[in-house]
Structures are given as C-alpha cells and as structure tokens.
Structure 1
Amino acid sequence: MEVKIQQWGNSAAIRLPATVLKQMSLASGDVLILDTSGDVMTLKPAKAKLHYRLADLMAECDLNAPEPEELSEWNAMQPAGREV
C-alpha cells in the first residue's frame, strides 16, 4: 500500500487509512513505536491494548487468601476526624 508524505506544520506526516486502523485495532491518539533499520521503517503499537472484564478478574481472585497485614492495620484504625 502506498501512502504519501505530506507537510504538517514544521513536520512531515503520513495518513493511515481507516481500513489499516481497523485491522490493527488502532484509533486516533494511540501511540506507535517507529523502528528503522537500513532502508526499512516499521510502525507498531507502543503496547498491546488490554481489555479486562470484571467477571474474568474476579474469577482469578482467591477468596480464601489471608488479608494483607497493611489492610488489617488499616481496618483496625480508629476514625481520626469526622469521616464516620
């Protein structure tokens, strides 16, 4: 696929077709990493997009795990102001 380099202020820019953005699951504002090696230029997403579902995260929780010590101390603290 050919794209044209165009002037954009004091920089040069290329436009990524909507079909490419959709295929790569990218959107305007996403960050890309630009690598160059010789005469080859590669663009890739800065990091994979992570999509979590609450049900999946909850399924990974160990409900029988002991409470962390810091949390026990926090829960045992007396109110210090008018937060009650």
Structure 2
Amino acid sequence: MDNMMKIAAGIYLVRTQAGFRQAIKAEFSDHCEDWVMRDVEGWPTSYPSVVSLSLGYRGSLFVDCNSVHVNVIRAAISDA
C-alpha cells in the first residue's frame, strides 16, 4: 500500500508522515526544488488523513495544509 495517493489537484490521501512529505514534494516540485519542511503550516495530527495543499505567502512562501482524518470523512458520508 502506498503512503500517498493523489485524489485531485492539491488533494491527497496520506497514510503516514512520510506520505505527507511525498505529497508536498509531488504537489510543489515544479515550484520549490529545495522545499523546507519547517515552512509547512497545518500538519496532519493523525493518519490516515485527506489533506489539501496550497501555497501561502506571509513575507515568504509556505505550504498551507488542511487535513481531515479518514474516519471523520467516513462518518460524514454515512450520515449524509
């Protein structure tokens, strides 16, 4: 099983922290060759998670991440 799977542009399923790092590299490799992981805001707090990644700017570029654990998504879908 892969640590990371692309769902759509900027949206990934990440199963581990290594998968999260792979998602960042996959999403921003064209823009940021030497991306520094300390320039990331909003790391997932638990895995597996679905994350959305975008670039933010506050004097310098950073990765802005929103994440949701897959169990929360499953519960929301089952309640729909």
Question: What TM-score range do you get, normalising by the shorter chain?
Answer: under 0.3
TM-score if structure 2 supplies the norm length?
0.26
Q: Greater relative contact order (Cα 8 A, min sep 6): structure 1 or 2?
A: 2
Structure with more of its chain in strand, by fraction: 2
Bigger CA radius of gyration: 1
TM-score using structure 1 length: 0.25
Which has the larger share of helix? 2
